[in-house]
Chain A
Protein backbone atom coordinates (compact mmCIF):
# COMPACT_ATOMS: atom_id res chain seq x y z
CA UNK A 1 0.00 0.00 0.00
CA UNK A 2 1.62 3.23 -1.18
CA UNK A 3 1.69 6.08 1.26
CA UNK A 4 1.35 9.73 0.36
CA UNK A 5 3.38 10.66 -2.69
CA UNK A 6 4.42 14.11 -3.88
CA UNK A 7 6.02 15.42 -7.03
CA UNK A 8 8.40 16.85 -7.87
CA UNK A 9 10.95 16.34 -5.08
CA UNK A 10 12.81 19.56 -5.77
CA UNK A 11 11.97 22.61 -7.84
CA UNK A 12 13.81 25.82 -8.65
CA UNK A 13 11.88 28.81 -9.97
CA UNK A 14 12.48 32.53 -10.39
CA UNK A 15 10.47 35.38 -8.94
CA UNK A 16 7.19 36.04 -10.71
CA UNK A 17 6.85 32.54 -12.10
CA UNK A 18 4.07 30.10 -11.34
CA UNK A 19 4.44 26.59 -9.89
CA UNK A 20 2.23 23.51 -9.54
CA UNK A 21 2.91 20.83 -6.93
CA UNK A 22 1.15 17.47 -6.92
CA UNK A 23 0.04 15.05 -4.23
CA UNK A 24 -1.51 11.59 -4.23
CA UNK A 25 -3.10 10.60 -0.90
CA UNK A 26 -2.75 7.32 0.90
CA UNK A 27 -5.12 4.67 -0.37
CA UNK A 28 -8.53 5.00 1.28
CA UNK A 29 -8.06 8.65 2.24
CA UNK A 30 -10.32 11.35 0.85
CA UNK A 31 -8.99 14.47 2.60
CA UNK A 32 -5.84 16.30 1.56
CA UNK A 33 -4.19 19.18 3.39
CA UNK A 34 -1.24 21.31 2.29
CA UNK A 35 1.39 22.86 4.55
CA UNK A 36 4.30 25.24 4.04
CA UNK A 37 7.38 24.74 6.19
CA UNK A 38 10.06 27.41 6.21
CA UNK A 39 13.55 26.47 7.38
CA UNK A 40 13.70 26.03 11.13
CA UNK A 41 9.95 26.46 11.57
CA UNK A 42 6.99 24.17 12.06
CA UNK A 43 4.57 23.49 9.19
CA UNK A 44 1.96 26.18 8.50
CA UNK A 45 -1.47 25.12 7.29
CA UNK A 46 -2.33 26.40 3.79
CA UNK A 47 -5.66 24.74 3.02
CA UNK A 48 -7.61 21.49 3.08
CA UNK A 49 -9.58 19.75 0.33
CA UNK A 50 -12.44 17.34 0.84
CA UNK A 51 -14.98 16.20 -1.76
CA UNK A 52 -13.17 18.32 -4.36
CA UNK A 53 -13.81 21.54 -2.46
CA UNK A 54 -11.59 23.78 -0.37
CA UNK A 55 -12.98 23.28 3.15
CA UNK A 56 -10.60 25.24 5.31
CA UNK A 57 -7.92 27.80 4.60
CA UNK A 58 -5.07 29.20 6.63
CA UNK A 59 -3.63 32.69 6.49
CA UNK A 60 -2.22 32.56 2.97
CA UNK A 61 -2.82 35.00 0.09
CA UNK A 62 -4.93 34.21 -2.95
CA UNK A 63 -1.73 33.52 -4.90
CA UNK A 64 -1.99 30.09 -3.29
CA UNK A 65 -4.74 28.00 -4.83
CA UNK A 66 -5.49 24.35 -5.15
CA UNK A 67 -7.59 21.65 -6.62
CA UNK A 68 -8.74 18.17 -5.73
CA UNK A 69 -9.59 15.62 -8.41
CA UNK A 70 -12.23 12.87 -8.32
CA UNK A 71 -9.51 10.32 -7.45
CA UNK A 72 -8.70 12.47 -4.37
CA UNK A 73 -5.29 13.57 -5.65
CA UNK A 74 -4.55 17.25 -5.28
CA UNK A 75 -2.55 20.12 -6.72
CA UNK A 76 -1.16 23.23 -5.08
CA UNK A 77 -0.62 26.22 -7.35
CA UNK A 78 1.37 29.30 -6.42
CA UNK A 79 1.32 32.33 -8.72
CA UNK A 80 3.65 35.32 -8.88
CA UNK A 81 6.32 33.59 -6.81
CA UNK A 82 8.19 35.61 -4.18
CA UNK A 83 11.55 34.85 -2.60
CA UNK A 84 9.68 34.20 0.66
CA UNK A 85 7.78 31.32 -0.94
CA UNK A 86 10.97 29.24 -0.76
CA UNK A 87 10.08 26.40 1.60
CA UNK A 88 9.28 22.72 1.96
CA UNK A 89 5.69 22.08 0.87
CA UNK A 90 4.07 19.13 2.56
CA UNK A 91 0.93 17.29 1.64
CA UNK A 92 -0.97 15.27 4.23
CA UNK A 93 -3.90 12.94 3.81
CA UNK A 94 -6.43 11.53 6.22
CA UNK A 95 -9.81 9.81 6.30
CA UNK A 96 -11.33 12.51 8.49
CA UNK A 97 -11.74 16.11 7.33
CA UNK A 98 -12.18 17.17 10.96
CA UNK A 99 -8.47 16.37 11.60
CA UNK A 100 -9.52 14.19 14.51
CA UNK A 101 -7.22 11.41 13.40
CA UNK A 102 -3.59 11.08 12.45
CA UNK A 103 -2.36 12.77 9.32
CA UNK A 104 -0.13 10.89 6.89
CA UNK A 105 2.48 13.16 5.35
CA UNK A 106 4.29 12.87 2.06
CA UNK A 107 8.07 13.46 1.71
CA UNK A 108 7.51 17.04 0.59
CA UNK A 109 8.54 19.23 -2.35
CA UNK A 110 11.47 21.57 -1.76
CA UNK A 111 10.77 24.82 -3.64
CA UNK A 112 13.55 27.34 -4.13
CA UNK A 113 12.68 30.75 -5.58
CA UNK A 114 15.62 32.74 -6.97
Chain B
Protein backbone atom coordinates (compact mmCIF):
# COMPACT_ATOMS: atom_id res chain seq x y z
CA UNK B 1 0.00 0.00 0.00
CA UNK B 2 1.18 3.55 -0.65
CA UNK B 3 2.38 5.67 2.23
CA UNK B 4 3.52 8.81 0.49
CA UNK B 5 1.58 10.75 -2.08
CA UNK B 6 3.24 13.50 -4.10
CA UNK B 7 1.51 16.60 -5.37
CA UNK B 8 1.30 17.77 -8.09
CA UNK B 9 1.49 14.72 -10.35
CA UNK B 10 3.15 16.84 -13.02
CA UNK B 11 4.79 20.25 -13.04
CA UNK B 12 6.15 22.28 -15.96
CA UNK B 13 8.16 25.46 -15.32
CA UNK B 14 10.64 27.70 -17.11
CA UNK B 15 14.36 27.27 -16.60
CA UNK B 16 15.54 29.46 -13.75
CA UNK B 17 12.27 29.33 -11.84
CA UNK B 18 11.79 27.51 -8.55
CA UNK B 19 9.95 24.19 -8.36
CA UNK B 20 8.03 23.05 -5.31
CA UNK B 21 6.55 19.62 -4.85
CA UNK B 22 4.76 18.21 -1.84
CA UNK B 23 4.44 14.84 -0.17
CA UNK B 24 1.80 13.68 2.30
CA UNK B 25 1.98 10.48 4.31
CA UNK B 26 -0.36 8.58 6.58
CA UNK B 27 1.47 7.04 9.54
CA UNK B 28 4.22 8.21 11.88
CA UNK B 29 7.72 8.06 10.46
CA UNK B 30 11.36 7.93 11.56
CA UNK B 31 12.55 9.66 8.45
CA UNK B 32 11.42 10.76 5.01
CA UNK B 33 13.58 10.47 1.91
CA UNK B 34 13.44 12.17 -1.48
CA UNK B 35 14.67 10.51 -4.66
CA UNK B 36 15.02 11.54 -8.30
CA UNK B 37 14.56 9.26 -11.29
CA UNK B 38 15.61 10.13 -14.83
CA UNK B 39 13.86 8.48 -17.77
CA UNK B 40 12.73 5.33 -15.93
CA UNK B 41 16.19 4.36 -14.76
CA UNK B 42 17.61 3.96 -11.26
CA UNK B 43 16.69 6.28 -8.43
CA UNK B 44 19.15 8.76 -7.00
CA UNK B 45 18.94 9.69 -3.34
CA UNK B 46 18.58 13.46 -2.79
CA UNK B 47 17.92 14.16 0.89
CA UNK B 48 16.94 12.27 4.04
CA UNK B 49 15.20 14.26 6.77
CA UNK B 50 14.60 12.74 10.18
CA UNK B 51 11.43 13.13 12.20
CA UNK B 52 13.10 15.52 14.67
CA UNK B 53 14.28 17.85 11.88
CA UNK B 54 12.17 20.58 10.32
CA UNK B 55 14.31 21.72 7.42
CA UNK B 56 17.33 20.50 5.51
CA UNK B 57 19.37 21.94 2.64
CA UNK B 58 21.60 20.41 0.01
CA UNK B 59 22.88 22.71 -2.72
CA UNK B 60 19.83 24.03 -4.60
CA UNK B 61 17.50 21.67 -2.72
CA UNK B 62 15.52 22.52 0.39
CA UNK B 63 13.33 19.99 2.17
CA UNK B 64 10.88 20.74 4.96
CA UNK B 65 9.05 18.31 7.21
CA UNK B 66 5.90 18.99 9.21
CA UNK B 67 5.12 15.91 11.29
CA UNK B 68 1.96 17.49 12.72
CA UNK B 69 0.52 17.73 9.20
CA UNK B 70 2.25 14.56 8.00
CA UNK B 71 3.70 16.40 5.04
CA UNK B 72 6.98 17.32 3.44
CA UNK B 73 7.99 19.62 0.62
CA UNK B 74 10.93 19.66 -1.79
CA UNK B 75 12.02 23.00 -3.25
CA UNK B 76 14.43 23.17 -6.16
CA UNK B 77 15.73 26.68 -6.69
CA UNK B 78 17.03 28.16 -9.95
CA UNK B 79 15.90 25.13 -11.96
CA UNK B 80 17.96 23.76 -14.85
CA UNK B 81 17.06 21.58 -17.82
CA UNK B 82 18.95 18.72 -16.13
CA UNK B 83 16.44 18.82 -13.26
CA UNK B 84 13.81 17.34 -15.59
CA UNK B 85 12.95 14.04 -13.90
CA UNK B 86 10.43 12.29 -11.65
CA UNK B 87 10.71 13.01 -7.95
CA UNK B 88 9.55 10.58 -5.25
CA UNK B 89 9.19 10.78 -1.52
CA UNK B 90 9.64 7.58 0.46
CA UNK B 91 9.29 6.48 4.05
CA UNK B 92 10.51 3.30 5.77
CA UNK B 93 7.56 1.26 7.03
CA UNK B 94 8.96 -1.77 8.81
CA UNK B 95 7.85 -4.95 7.06
CA UNK B 96 6.64 -2.91 4.07
CA UNK B 97 10.15 -1.71 3.36
CA UNK B 98 10.71 1.71 1.84
CA UNK B 99 7.30 2.91 0.63
CA UNK B 100 7.13 5.31 -2.31
CA UNK B 101 4.44 7.55 -3.71
CA UNK B 102 3.59 7.80 -7.41
CA UNK B 103 5.93 10.73 -7.90
CA UNK B 104 5.90 14.22 -9.38
CA UNK B 105 7.03 14.48 -12.98
CA UNK B 106 8.95 17.76 -13.35
CA UNK B 107 9.63 19.29 -16.76
CA UNK B 108 11.96 22.26 -17.07
CA UNK B 109 11.28 24.27 -20.23
CA UNK B 110 14.38 25.94 -21.77
Which residues of A are interface residues toward B (Cβ below 8 A)?
A: 4, 33, 35, 37, 39-45, 47-48, 56-59, 88, 90, 92, 98-108, 110
Cβ–Cβ contact B94 & A102, under 8 A:
no
Contacting pair B42 A43 (CB below 8 A)? no
Cross-chain contact B42 with A90 (CB below 8 angstroms): yes
Chain B, interface residues (CB within 8 Å), range:
20 to 34
**Cα distance A83–B98 in the bound complex, in angstroms:** 25
Q: Using a CB–CB distance below 8 Å, which chain B residues touch chain A?
A: 1-2, 4, 30-31, 33, 35, 40-45, 48, 88, 90, 92, 94-103
Q: Is the CB of B97 within 8 A of A99?
A: yes
Report how far A40 CA is from B1 CA in the complex, Å: 16
Name the A residues within 8 Å of B45 (CB-CB): 102-105
List A contacts of B90 (CB < 8 A): 42
B19 to A: closest C-beta gap in Å? 19
Residue contact A56 to B97, C-beta cutoff 8 Å: yes
Q: Which residue of A lies closest to B40 (CB)?
A: A88
Query: Which residue of B has the minimal Cβ distance to A98?
Result: B92
Pairs across A and B, CB under 8 Å, 6 listed:
A35-B97, A42-B102, A45-B98, A103-B43, A103-B98, A105-B45
